[in-house]
Amino acid sequence: MSESTVASSATGQTWDYKLLSIHARHNDKLEETLKELGGQGWELVFVSEEAANEFRLILKKPLA
């Protein structure tokens, strides 16, 4: 599952946010996913383990 939304901060910076749920049995899969998203400009803001091996990620990146 992946969702994306846009928000502005008090400084006028506009952010794009992504909500993502991933199933990762091993840390390697989670790390690989984070490296891929980081390469696309996404910054991890929050992560939680919703259930065994199910992670919910919130990421953001500035809009140009």
Question: 3-state class of 24 per DSSP?
Answer: coil
| 9-22: pLDDT as tens digits | 667 889 999 999 99
C-beta of residue 14 within 8 angstroms of C-beta of residue 1: no
* pTM for this entry: 0.74
Q: Quick one: pLDDT at residue 26?
A: 81
For residue 42, the Cα-to-chain-centroid distance in whole angstroms is 7
Rounded distance between C-alpha atoms, residue 24 and residue 32, angstroms: 10
Residue 5 in this model has a pLDDT that exceeds 60 = yes
Q: Quick one: pLDDT at residue 13?
A: 87
Phi, psi for 33 (deg, rounded to 5):
-65, -45
Give the number of domains in the chain: 1
User: Whose structure tokens read 């939680």?
Assistant: 48
Please give the average per-residue pLDDT across 30-42, as a whole number: 94
Domain extent for 11: 2-62
The distance between the two most distant Cα atoms of the chain, rounded to a whole number of Å, is 39
